[in-house]
Protein backbone atom coordinates (compact mmCIF):
# COMPACT_ATOMS: atom_id res chain seq x y z
CA UNK A 1 0.00 0.00 0.00
CA UNK A 2 1.59 3.26 -1.13
CA UNK A 3 -0.86 5.61 0.67
CA UNK A 4 -1.96 5.72 4.29
CA UNK A 5 -4.54 7.92 5.96
CA UNK A 6 -5.21 8.77 9.60
CA UNK A 7 -8.87 9.72 10.08
CA UNK A 8 -9.85 11.95 13.01
CA UNK A 9 -13.58 11.47 13.61
CA UNK A 10 -16.22 12.67 16.04
CA UNK A 11 -18.83 10.22 14.69
CA UNK A 12 -17.84 6.67 13.86
CA UNK A 13 -19.50 3.27 14.43
CA UNK A 14 -20.94 2.12 16.72
CA UNK A 15 -22.39 5.65 16.65
CA UNK A 16 -25.54 5.80 14.54
CA UNK A 17 -26.27 8.26 11.77
CA UNK A 18 -25.48 8.83 8.13
CA UNK A 19 -22.06 10.46 8.60
CA UNK A 20 -20.88 7.62 10.82
CA UNK A 21 -21.88 5.07 8.16
CA UNK A 22 -20.41 7.19 5.40
CA UNK A 23 -16.98 7.49 7.02
CA UNK A 24 -16.86 3.78 7.79
CA UNK A 25 -17.78 2.77 4.25
CA UNK A 26 -15.35 5.20 2.69
CA UNK A 27 -12.34 3.93 4.64
CA UNK A 28 -13.25 0.22 4.51
CA UNK A 29 -14.30 -0.04 0.86
CA UNK A 30 -11.12 1.16 -0.79
CA UNK A 31 -7.99 -0.33 -2.28
CA UNK A 32 -6.41 3.08 -2.78
CA UNK A 33 -5.49 3.90 0.82
CA UNK A 34 -4.95 2.07 4.09
CA UNK A 35 -6.67 3.73 7.03
CA UNK A 36 -6.53 4.04 10.79
CA UNK A 37 -9.15 5.90 12.85
CA UNK A 38 -8.92 7.99 16.01
CA UNK A 39 -12.45 8.78 17.20
CA UNK A 40 -14.22 10.31 20.18
CA UNK A 41 -16.98 7.67 19.81
CA UNK A 42 -16.56 4.99 22.50
CA UNK A 43 -16.25 1.51 21.06
CA UNK A 44 -13.99 -1.48 20.53
CA UNK A 45 -10.26 -0.79 20.27
CA UNK A 46 -8.20 -2.40 17.54
CA UNK A 47 -5.13 -1.81 15.42
CA UNK A 48 -7.36 0.15 13.02
CA UNK A 49 -9.54 2.02 15.52
CA UNK A 50 -8.63 3.93 18.69
CA UNK A 51 -11.06 5.66 21.04
CA UNK A 52 -9.69 8.89 22.45
CA UNK A 53 -11.10 12.00 24.20
CA UNK A 54 -10.93 15.09 22.03
CA UNK A 55 -8.28 16.72 24.24
CA UNK A 56 -5.90 13.82 23.54
CA UNK A 57 -6.56 13.45 19.82
CA UNK A 58 -3.73 15.65 18.57
CA UNK A 59 -1.14 14.09 20.87
CA UNK A 60 -2.10 10.53 19.89
CA UNK A 61 -2.29 11.37 16.19
CA UNK A 62 1.12 13.04 16.21
CA UNK A 63 2.82 10.42 18.37
CA UNK A 64 1.26 7.04 17.64
CA UNK A 65 0.23 7.79 14.07
CA UNK A 66 3.57 9.16 12.94
CA UNK A 67 5.55 5.92 12.65
CA UNK A 68 2.66 4.12 10.91
CA UNK A 69 1.99 6.90 8.41
CA UNK A 70 5.65 7.40 7.55
CA UNK A 71 5.90 3.87 6.19
CA UNK A 72 3.85 5.01 3.17
CA UNK A 73 5.00 7.05 0.19
CA UNK A 74 1.88 9.21 0.47
CA UNK A 75 0.33 9.97 3.84
CA UNK A 76 -2.53 12.09 5.06
CA UNK A 77 -4.26 13.20 8.24
CA UNK A 78 -7.96 13.69 7.49
CA UNK A 79 -10.59 15.45 9.60
CA UNK A 80 -13.93 13.66 9.52
CA UNK A 81 -15.65 16.85 10.66
CA UNK A 82 -14.88 20.46 9.64
CA UNK A 83 -14.38 21.47 13.28
CA UNK A 84 -11.45 19.03 13.42
CA UNK A 85 -9.69 20.60 10.46
CA UNK A 86 -7.30 22.51 12.74
CA UNK A 87 -6.26 19.28 14.48
CA UNK A 88 -5.71 17.62 11.12
CA UNK A 89 -3.51 20.46 9.88
CA UNK A 90 -1.46 20.45 13.11
CA UNK A 91 -1.01 16.67 13.18
CA UNK A 92 -0.11 16.59 9.49
CA UNK A 93 2.59 19.20 10.10
CA UNK A 94 4.15 17.08 12.86
CA UNK A 95 3.93 13.85 10.85
CA UNK A 96 5.08 15.60 7.65
CA UNK A 97 1.95 14.52 5.88
CA UNK A 98 -0.77 16.23 3.86
CA UNK A 99 -4.00 17.32 5.49
CA UNK A 100 -7.58 16.70 4.38
CA UNK A 101 -11.14 17.24 5.55
CA UNK A 102 -14.60 15.85 4.84
CA UNK A 103 -17.38 18.47 4.80
CA UNK A 104 -21.08 17.86 4.63
CA UNK A 105 -23.72 19.75 6.60
CA UNK A 106 -24.94 22.60 8.74
CA UNK A 107 -21.61 22.78 10.60
CA UNK A 108 -20.33 24.75 7.61
CA UNK A 109 -22.68 27.63 8.45
CA UNK A 110 -21.12 29.59 11.35
CA UNK A 111 -23.59 30.32 14.17
CA UNK A 112 -21.23 32.54 16.16
CA UNK A 113 -17.62 33.48 16.80
CA UNK A 114 -16.69 30.02 18.13
CA UNK A 115 -17.98 28.38 14.96
CA UNK A 116 -16.13 30.88 12.77
CA UNK A 117 -12.89 30.20 14.61
CA UNK A 118 -13.41 26.42 14.30
CA UNK A 119 -13.84 26.76 10.53
CA UNK A 120 -10.85 29.06 9.93
CA UNK A 121 -8.33 26.20 9.49
CA UNK A 122 -10.23 25.06 6.36
CA UNK A 123 -8.17 27.66 4.51
CA UNK A 124 -5.00 25.71 5.35
CA UNK A 125 -6.31 22.20 4.59
CA UNK A 126 -4.61 20.55 1.65
CA UNK A 127 -7.69 18.86 0.18
CA UNK A 128 -11.38 19.07 1.02
CA UNK A 129 -14.02 16.52 0.00
CA UNK A 130 -17.65 17.66 0.02
CA UNK A 131 -20.53 15.21 -0.28
CA UNK A 132 -22.64 17.55 -2.44
CA UNK A 133 -22.33 20.69 -4.53
CA UNK A 134 -24.09 22.56 -1.72
CA UNK A 135 -21.54 21.40 0.86
CA UNK A 136 -18.65 22.31 -1.42
CA UNK A 137 -20.03 25.80 -2.00
CA UNK A 138 -20.41 26.38 1.74
CA UNK A 139 -16.90 25.08 2.40
CA UNK A 140 -15.47 27.57 -0.09
CA UNK A 141 -17.51 30.35 1.53
CA UNK A 142 -16.06 29.28 4.91
CA UNK A 143 -12.51 29.68 3.61
CA UNK A 144 -11.52 26.47 1.81
CA UNK A 145 -9.53 27.12 -1.36
CA UNK A 146 -11.60 26.42 -4.45
CA UNK A 147 -8.86 24.52 -6.26
CA UNK A 148 -8.55 22.13 -3.31
CA UNK A 149 -12.23 21.17 -3.12
CA UNK A 150 -13.67 18.05 -4.76
CA UNK A 151 -17.25 16.77 -4.63
CA UNK A 152 -17.69 13.02 -4.13
CA UNK A 153 -21.34 12.05 -3.92
CA UNK A 154 -21.89 9.05 -1.61
CA UNK A 155 -22.96 5.75 -3.09
CA UNK A 156 -22.93 3.36 -0.13
CA UNK A 157 -24.01 -0.21 0.35
CA UNK A 158 -27.63 0.01 1.54
CA UNK A 159 -28.42 -1.73 4.81
CA UNK A 160 -31.23 -3.59 3.08
CA UNK A 161 -32.11 -4.29 -0.57
CA UNK A 162 -35.54 -5.49 -1.74
CA UNK A 163 -35.75 -8.72 -3.73
CA UNK A 164 -38.60 -7.21 -5.75
CA UNK A 165 -40.57 -3.99 -5.79
CA UNK A 166 -43.58 -3.77 -3.45
CA UNK A 167 -46.92 -4.26 -5.22
CA UNK A 168 -50.04 -2.36 -4.24
CA UNK A 169 -53.37 -4.23 -4.17
CA UNK A 170 -56.02 -2.66 -6.43
CA UNK A 171 -58.15 -0.09 -4.64
CA UNK A 172 -55.90 0.44 -1.63
CA UNK A 173 -54.50 3.87 -0.99
CA UNK A 174 -50.77 4.50 -1.04
CA UNK A 175 -48.65 3.71 1.98
CA UNK A 176 -46.12 6.49 2.37
CA UNK A 177 -42.90 6.27 4.38
CA UNK A 178 -39.97 8.41 5.45
CA UNK A 179 -36.99 7.88 7.77
CA UNK A 180 -35.73 10.87 9.72
CA UNK A 181 -34.41 12.27 12.97
CA UNK A 182 -37.27 13.91 14.82
CA UNK A 183 -35.20 16.79 16.10
CA UNK A 184 -34.99 19.56 13.50
CA UNK A 185 -37.69 21.60 11.86
CA UNK A 186 -35.92 21.64 8.48
CA UNK A 187 -36.80 17.95 8.11
CA UNK A 188 -40.21 19.40 7.12
CA UNK A 189 -42.26 16.49 8.46
CA UNK A 190 -45.28 18.71 9.08
CA UNK A 191 -45.70 18.98 5.31
CA UNK A 192 -46.12 15.20 5.16
CA UNK A 193 -48.76 15.33 7.89
CA UNK A 194 -50.68 17.97 5.95
CA UNK A 195 -50.28 15.94 2.76
CA UNK A 196 -51.84 12.96 4.51
CA UNK A 197 -54.65 15.09 5.92
CA UNK A 198 -55.56 16.22 2.39
CA UNK A 199 -55.34 12.86 0.63
CA UNK A 200 -56.44 10.29 3.20
CA UNK A 201 -60.13 11.33 3.10
CA UNK A 202 -60.00 10.89 -0.70
CA UNK A 203 -58.64 7.35 -0.38
CA UNK A 204 -55.36 8.29 -2.06
CA UNK A 205 -53.25 7.77 1.06
CA UNK A 206 -53.83 4.73 3.24
CA UNK A 207 -51.06 5.36 5.78
CA UNK A 208 -48.01 7.51 6.53
CA UNK A 209 -45.15 6.05 8.55
CA UNK A 210 -42.43 8.31 9.96
CA UNK A 211 -39.55 6.17 11.25
CA UNK A 212 -37.15 7.76 13.72
CA UNK A 213 -36.86 9.20 17.18
CA UNK A 214 -36.13 12.54 18.76
CA UNK A 215 -37.54 15.37 20.86
CA UNK A 216 -40.19 16.32 18.29
CA UNK A 217 -41.92 12.93 18.44
CA UNK A 218 -44.66 14.12 20.79
CA UNK A 219 -45.26 17.35 18.87
CA UNK A 220 -45.64 15.46 15.60
CA UNK A 221 -48.07 13.05 17.22
CA UNK A 222 -50.13 15.98 18.54
CA UNK A 223 -50.09 17.65 15.13
CA UNK A 224 -51.31 14.49 13.43
CA UNK A 225 -54.20 14.25 15.90
CA UNK A 226 -55.05 17.92 15.42
CA UNK A 227 -55.19 17.38 11.63
CA UNK A 228 -57.52 14.42 12.09
CA UNK A 229 -55.05 11.76 10.95
CA UNK A 230 -53.83 10.51 14.31
CA UNK A 231 -54.99 6.98 13.48
CA UNK A 232 -53.41 7.11 10.01
CA UNK A 233 -49.91 8.35 10.89
CA UNK A 234 -47.56 5.81 12.49
CA UNK A 235 -44.59 7.07 14.54
CA UNK A 236 -42.84 3.87 15.64
CA UNK A 237 -39.67 5.61 16.88
CA UNK A 238 -36.20 4.12 16.37
CA UNK A 239 -36.13 0.79 14.53
CA UNK A 240 -33.29 -1.58 13.72
CA UNK A 241 -32.12 -1.91 10.13
CA UNK A 242 -33.91 -5.26 9.82
CA UNK A 243 -37.11 -3.78 11.22
CA UNK A 244 -36.94 -0.90 8.75
CA UNK A 245 -36.35 -3.34 5.90
CA UNK A 246 -39.43 -5.37 6.81
CA UNK A 247 -41.51 -2.22 7.15
CA UNK A 248 -40.47 -0.92 3.73
CA UNK A 249 -41.72 -4.09 2.03
CA UNK A 250 -45.26 -2.97 2.87
CA UNK A 251 -44.85 0.61 1.59
CA UNK A 252 -45.46 2.14 -1.83
CA UNK A 253 -43.76 5.57 -1.98
CA UNK A 254 -40.76 7.04 -0.17
CA UNK A 255 -40.74 10.68 0.91
CA UNK A 256 -37.88 13.03 1.76
CA UNK A 257 -39.21 16.56 2.22
CA UNK A 258 -36.28 18.40 3.86
CA UNK A 259 -35.88 22.09 3.07
CA UNK A 260 -33.15 24.71 3.45
CA UNK A 261 -34.20 26.55 6.62
CA UNK A 262 -32.84 30.07 6.99
CA UNK A 263 -34.13 30.42 10.55
CA UNK A 264 -32.48 27.19 11.73
CA UNK A 265 -29.45 27.44 9.44
CA UNK A 266 -30.37 23.83 8.79
CA UNK A 267 -30.31 21.73 5.62
CA UNK A 268 -29.37 18.32 4.27
CA UNK A 269 -25.72 17.81 3.49
CA UNK A 270 -26.75 15.05 1.08
CA UNK A 271 -29.66 12.77 1.98
CA UNK A 272 -28.55 9.14 2.26
CA UNK A 273 -32.12 8.18 3.20
CA UNK A 274 -33.13 8.89 -0.41
CA UNK A 275 -30.89 6.03 -1.54
CA UNK A 276 -32.07 3.74 1.26
CA UNK A 277 -35.68 4.22 0.12
CA UNK A 278 -34.65 3.54 -3.47
CA UNK A 279 -33.01 0.29 -2.35
CA UNK A 280 -36.46 -0.84 -1.17
CA UNK A 281 -37.76 -0.52 -4.73
CA UNK A 282 -39.71 2.65 -3.97
CA UNK A 283 -40.18 5.78 -6.05
CA UNK A 284 -38.96 8.71 -3.95
CA UNK A 285 -40.36 12.25 -3.80
CA UNK A 286 -37.58 14.60 -2.69
CA UNK A 287 -37.50 18.20 -1.51
CA UNK A 288 -35.51 20.26 -4.02
CA UNK A 289 -33.13 21.85 -1.55
CA UNK A 290 -29.44 21.81 -0.52
CA UNK A 291 -27.61 18.48 -0.76
CA UNK A 292 -30.75 16.47 -1.50
CA UNK A 293 -30.57 17.84 -5.05
CA UNK A 294 -27.53 15.60 -5.52
CA UNK A 295 -29.12 12.55 -3.88
CA UNK A 296 -32.16 12.41 -6.17
CA UNK A 297 -31.62 10.51 -9.42
CA UNK A 298 -34.04 10.40 -12.32
CA UNK A 299 -36.13 8.51 -13.30
CA UNK A 300 -36.84 6.97 -9.90
CA UNK A 301 -36.81 10.26 -7.93
CA UNK A 302 -38.75 13.48 -8.42
CA UNK A 303 -37.69 16.84 -7.04
CA UNK A 304 -40.49 18.97 -5.57
CA UNK A 305 -40.63 22.39 -3.92
CA UNK A 306 -40.43 21.59 -0.18
CA UNK A 307 -42.60 24.62 0.61
CA UNK A 308 -45.36 23.86 -1.91
CA UNK A 309 -47.85 21.43 -0.38
CA UNK A 310 -49.91 21.20 -3.56
CA UNK A 311 -46.99 20.04 -5.69
CA UNK A 312 -46.65 17.11 -3.29
CA UNK A 313 -50.40 16.47 -3.38
CA UNK A 314 -50.34 16.35 -7.18
CA UNK A 315 -47.29 14.07 -7.30
CA UNK A 316 -48.81 11.57 -4.88
CA UNK A 317 -52.16 11.67 -6.71
CA UNK A 318 -50.35 10.88 -9.97
CA UNK A 319 -48.61 7.85 -8.45
CA UNK A 320 -51.93 6.67 -7.02
CA UNK A 321 -53.71 7.09 -10.36
CA UNK A 322 -51.05 5.22 -12.35
CA UNK A 323 -49.74 2.04 -10.79
CA UNK A 324 -47.66 1.51 -13.93
CA UNK A 325 -45.84 4.81 -13.31
CA UNK A 326 -45.28 4.02 -9.64
CA UNK A 327 -44.07 0.48 -10.36
CA UNK A 328 -41.83 1.68 -13.20
CA UNK A 329 -40.13 4.19 -10.94
CA UNK A 330 -39.71 1.48 -8.30
CA UNK A 331 -38.11 -0.87 -10.82
CA UNK A 332 -35.73 1.88 -11.91
CA UNK A 333 -34.81 2.54 -8.26
CA UNK A 334 -34.03 -1.11 -7.62
CA UNK A 335 -32.06 -1.46 -10.86
CA UNK A 336 -30.04 1.63 -9.95
CA UNK A 337 -29.30 0.22 -6.49
CA UNK A 338 -28.19 -3.14 -7.84
CA UNK A 339 -25.94 -1.51 -10.44
CA UNK A 340 -23.76 0.15 -7.81
CA UNK A 341 -20.07 -0.69 -7.72
CA UNK A 342 -19.52 -0.90 -3.93
CA UNK A 343 -15.96 0.42 -3.89
CA UNK A 344 -16.37 3.23 -6.43
CA UNK A 345 -17.49 5.93 -4.00
CA UNK A 346 -14.72 5.02 -1.55
CA UNK A 347 -12.14 5.09 -4.33
CA UNK A 348 -13.33 8.51 -5.46
CA UNK A 349 -13.09 9.71 -1.86
CA UNK A 350 -9.46 8.60 -1.53
CA UNK A 351 -8.56 10.04 -4.93
CA UNK A 352 -10.28 13.32 -4.04
CA UNK A 353 -8.04 13.60 -1.00
CA UNK A 354 -4.85 12.58 -2.76
CA UNK A 355 -5.51 14.46 -6.01
CA UNK A 356 -8.05 17.27 -5.50
CA UNK A 357 -10.38 17.85 -8.45
CA UNK A 358 -9.20 14.64 -10.10
CA UNK A 359 -11.35 12.04 -8.35
CA UNK A 360 -13.00 10.67 -11.47
CA UNK A 361 -16.78 10.48 -11.63
CA UNK A 362 -19.72 8.18 -11.13
CA UNK A 363 -23.07 8.61 -12.87
CA UNK A 364 -23.67 11.72 -10.80
CA UNK A 365 -20.13 13.03 -11.15
CA UNK A 366 -17.32 13.79 -8.75
CA UNK A 367 -16.52 17.40 -9.43
CA UNK A 368 -16.52 20.84 -7.88
Tens place of pLDDT for every residue, the chain, 368 residues? Answer: 579 999 999 999 998 888 998 999 999 878 889 999 999 999 888 888 999 899 999 988 888 788 888 888 899 999 999 999 999 999 999 999 999 999 998 889 888 899 999 999 999 999 999 999 999 999 999 999 999 999 999 988 888 899 899 889 989 999 999 999 999 999 999 999 999 999 999 999 999 999 999 999 999 999 999 999 999 999 999 999 899 999 999 999 999 999 987 667 789 999 999 999 999 999 999 999 999 999 999 999 999 999 999 999 999 999 999 999 999 999 999 999 999 887 888 999 999 999 886 443 444 444 44
Residue 75, preceding peptide bond in cis (omega within 30° of 0)? no
* Burial class of residue 177 (count of CB atoms within 10 Å of its CB; 0-12, 13-18, 19+): buried
Question: CB-based contacts of 231: which residues, under 8 Å, 6+ apart?
Answer: none
**Cα–Cα nearest to 76, from 59, 101, 55:** 101
CATH of domain 3-157+341-354: 3.40.50.2000
pLDDT of the residue at 262: 67
Instruction: Assess contact for 110 and 142: CB atoms under 8 A.
Output: yes
* Burial class of residue 67 (count of CB atoms within 10 Å of its CB; 0-12, 13-18, 19+): exposed
Instruction: Assess contact for 211 and 239: CB atoms under 8 A.
Output: yes
Alpha-carbon Rg for the chain in angstroms: 21
pLDDT of the residue at 110: 83
CA dist 215 and 213 (Å) reads 7
Please tell me if the domain spanning 3-157+341-354 has the same topology as the one spanning 174-338. yes
- β partners of residue 5: 35, 76
Domain boundary assignment for the chain: 3-157+341-354, 174-338
**pTM, rounded to two decimals:** 0.91
pLDDT of the residue at 197: 98
- β partners of residue 8: 38, 79
Instruction: Assess contact for 303 and 296: CB atoms under 8 A.
Output: yes
**Angle subtended by helix axes 309-321 and 189-199, to nearest 10:** 50
CA dist 307 and 300 (Å) reads 21
Superfamily (CATH) of domain 174-338: Glycogen Phosphorylase B; (3.40.50.2000)
Amino acid sequence: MTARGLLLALDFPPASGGISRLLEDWIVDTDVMEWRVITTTPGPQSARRAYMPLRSMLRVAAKDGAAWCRQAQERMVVAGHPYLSGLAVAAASVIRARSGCVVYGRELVPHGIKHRLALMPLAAVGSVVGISDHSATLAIAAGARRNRVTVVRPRLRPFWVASTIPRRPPGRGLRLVTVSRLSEGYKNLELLLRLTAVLHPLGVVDRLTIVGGGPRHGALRDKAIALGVGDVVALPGHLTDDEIGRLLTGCDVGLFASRDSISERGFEGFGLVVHELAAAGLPVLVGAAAGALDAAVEPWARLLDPDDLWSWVEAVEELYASEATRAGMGEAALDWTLSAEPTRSARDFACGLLHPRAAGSNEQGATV
